[in-house]
Amino acid sequence: MKTWTVHTRPQSAPLLVREGFSWGAFLLGPLWLLARRAWLAALLVLCAYAAIALLPLRGLNPLAGFGLAWLLGLFGEDIRRWSLERAGYGLAHVVSARDEDTALANLLQRRPDLIEQAVR
């Protein structure tokens, strides 16, 4: 069973954000954040990678880059939630299901007031 947090704002479809490690954030970093419209977070991560590239101890650069990627994998979905909150979305519900489609169906069954927003 996987868990999703549901984020809503007026006149927008609800967004589901999965809990747990994000392989996309781990492997793609700032590109993953940009694809999820987390502009500020992507910019900060790019700055962090630039700072790592400028470290004077060249032996630590790969290790520091891997560490940053690992942290993005661990906290990528949380960063996404933070970006959604900054964009005006609020936490509406938490649902559990096997996949995202089932989670959305469970949400709409519990919160029929969101159906009109979901079909937009």
Instruction: Answer for the pair 48, 68: CB distance below 8 angstroms, yes or no.
Output: yes
Structure tokens at 19: 């809990």
The arithmetic mean of pLDDT across residues 33-37, rounded, is 95
- Show the domain range for 8: 2-118
pLDDT of residue 111: 84
pLDDT of residue 118: 62
* Confidence check: pLDDT of 113 > 70: yes
Distances (CA, A) of 37 to 13, 32, 64, 79, 88: 15, 9, 25, 11, 13
pTM of the predicted structure, to 2 decimals: 0.84
Q: Looking at the 3D structure of the chain, how many domains does it have?
A: 1
* Confidence check: pLDDT of 40 > 90: yes
Structure tokens at 80: 């996404």
